[in-house]
A and B are shown apart, each in its own frame.
Chain A
Amino acid sequence: MAEPTRQDLDELETVEIKVNMGPQHPSTHGVFRMVLTIDGEKIVDCVPHIGYLHRGSEKVAEGEQFHQVVTLFDRLDYLANFNNELVYCMAVEKVMGLQAPERAQYIRVLLSELQRIASHFLLVSSFGLDTGALTPGLYAFRGRERILMLFEAVSGARMMHNYFHIGGVKDDLPEDFDKRLGELLPILKFDIEECDKLLSFNEVFLARTRGVGVIDTATAIDYGMTGCGLRATGLAYDVRKAQPYSSYEKFDFDIPTGQHGDCWDRYWMRVQEMYQSLRIVEQAWKQMPKGPVNAIGRRLLRPPKGEAYVRAENPRGEIGVYLVTDGTDKPYRLKVRPPSYCNLVALQHMLKNQYLADCVVIFGSLDIVLGEVDR
């Protein structure tokens, strides 16, 4: 091949090239693929591809009895199992006009908030890894493991609990729960502070995340973004405060808000929420009333014909369940509003005109779970 001449080089033009990222990329937190169009170092366009984990959970639920669907919800957002079980149980209870006993509500809140801390621990870990910090990840996983060990004592499983049943919870808390939780809480507080101190104001971490992937409140709402992503833009909106469910109105906690809507703010919301969740756990533990833990005590149900929509705040954002029943023992139609799915729609907007190197950071700051996106 001949050497390129001066004229050949003059005819060369700048072209946009397409880069495929995923689905096996370690930073995609599952199986997510995006095709990035880049102009030099800048991202011009992003086309996300999802569906690698699609199991048709909503369709499968139409063939399962009401108590069996709880296990499907465990597998949607596999990092926030209790929160997912809670919202489904509330939907069926709403159709049935049923209220869980107060003790069951407190147990649900306590476990959901511990789950939120565990989920945010994982975000600290994975987001640290995305920005190149390995150490906080190991510390965060240690804290998460402590919570999961308590969950194992309560429900018999580390992750797929199937512990919240329609009308309450499966069984009362174990006898040594008070002792174990009493030992866990101070350690947990220390763990959170440790991760916080290790990562949050690290110079390199700040340089990678400050002012990156900015989104403003109006755009975030337009894209359907909720949860920490929305609160990071400065809007103090939390379903637990706005429409309290499962006795959340009885607990005293604050909604942390950000200012800039960038990656660091989104991360900071999660760290702040861990402290707030710890406050709720302490209150729920101290104020927990005695009494029954299940309002119906049976599992086979035939809710009346009707429909209901319930909302709840998951670690990743606002989850919703739309349930249509036809009077049989199976749901007629079930549709989930997965928070990660809605947050992911905004990714295209956030990646525009950002550097390719920041792509992983912006994506990581959304804290998505592909099991929930694909259902």
Chain B
Amino acid sequence: MAEAHSPRESRHVGTEAIVPLSEKAQALQTLVKEAFAEFSHEVGASLDLVQVTVAPDMLVPLCQTAKDDPRLDFKLILLLTAVDYKDRFQMVYHLQSLTREWTLVVKADLPYEDPHVPSVTSVWRGADWYEREMHELFGVVFDGHPNLAPLLLWEGFEGYPGRKSYPFYDYQEW
């Protein structure tokens, strides 16, 4: 298992397309390169979806562009999640355009110690509960979130049960 999650290798999880991108996705790829020209980013593919990797501090302006640019029109946030890769956290945002009918995956890597990422609740209000959930399960701090109160767990719960290091399977059957 140890070598499977070495930083170098896990960095390539999903970055190489297994299936060839559809024509529509390729068009989106070129469009994304053009629209996000002012932000430092990397365009790739997550299986059959177009993927953009960006530094955390560029996240909010990039998301705002993705939402407001009429060519992209990503008005709906489908999913916001964090993935624990044991050496870093990866924030994964799935955005959807209901008019153009395409999906974009935005990714940002955070350090494992003291992970901070700007909140995107100002862009999509639907991100509110997702961010609260990721905060309590993974300990990721969303700067600028209006209320990071616990959502699923009870008050006073200690630890971050979403993380791989959390002793989840060490409990005995009752």
Q: Which residues of A contact B (CB under 8 A)?
A: 50-51, 54, 56, 58-60, 62-63, 94-95, 97, 218, 221-226, 235, 237, 242-243, 304-309, 311, 318, 320, 322, 324, 326-328, 332-333, 335, 337, 341-342, 344-345, 374-375
Contacts and interface: CB of A to CB of B under 8 A. Distances in A.
Contacts of A307: 13-14, 46-47
Contacts of B94: 309, 320, 322, 337
Contact of A224 (B14, B47, B76, B81): B76
A56 to B, nearest CB: 6
Contacts of A225: 126
B105 A309 contact: yes
Given A97-B19, A221-B75, A306-B47, 19 more contacts: A51-B150, A54-B152, A94-B47, A222-B124, A224-B76, A224-B127, A226-B76, A242-B98, A307-B13, A307-B14, A309-B49, A309-B105, A311-B78, A318-B78, A320-B79, A326-B13, A327-B4, A341-B129, A345-B126
Nearest to A335: B81
A237 B125 contact: no
Nearest to A223: B126
Contact of A333 (B84, B103, B125, B153): B84
Contacts of B81: 322, 333, 335
Contact of B76 (A58, A95, A221): A221
Nearest to B101: A242
B168 interface: yes
B79 A306 contact: no
A51 B92 CA distance: 23
B79 A322 contact: yes
Contacts of B153: 51, 54
Interface in B115-133: 124-129
A277 B110 CA distance: 44
A58 B83 CA distance: 12
Given A309-B94, A322-B81, A345 B125 contact: yes
A306 B98 contact: no
Contacts of A328: 1, 4
28 contacts: A50-B151, A51-B150, A51-B152, A51-B153, A54-B153, A59-B168, A94-B48, A97-B18, A224-B77, A224-B126, A237-B98, A305-B4, A306-B13, A306-B18, A307-B14, A308-B47, A309-B105, A311-B78, A318-B78, A320-B94, A322-B92, A324-B83, A326-B5, A326-B10, A333-B84, A341-B129, A344-B129, A374-B152
A328 B103 CA distance: 27
B169 interface: yes
A305 B126 contact: no
B174 interface: no
Nearest to A224: B126
A56 B18 CA distance: 31
A201 B5 CA distance: 59
Contacts of A50: 151-152
Contacts of B101: 242-243
Contacts of A222: 75, 124-126
B162 interface: yes
Contacts of B125: 222-224, 345
A309 B93 CA distance: 11
Interface string B1-34: 1001100001001100011000000000000000
A59 B167 CA distance: 11
A51 B48 CA distance: 34
Interface in B121-157: 124-129, 150-154
Contacts of B127: 224
B162 to A, nearest CB: 6
Contact of B126 (A333, A342, A374): A342
B56 interface: no
Nearest to B98: A237
A345 B129 contact: yes
B46 A63 contact: no
- Which are the 5 A-B pairs with shortest beta-carbon distances? A224-B126, A307-B14, A51-B152, A335-B81, A54-B152
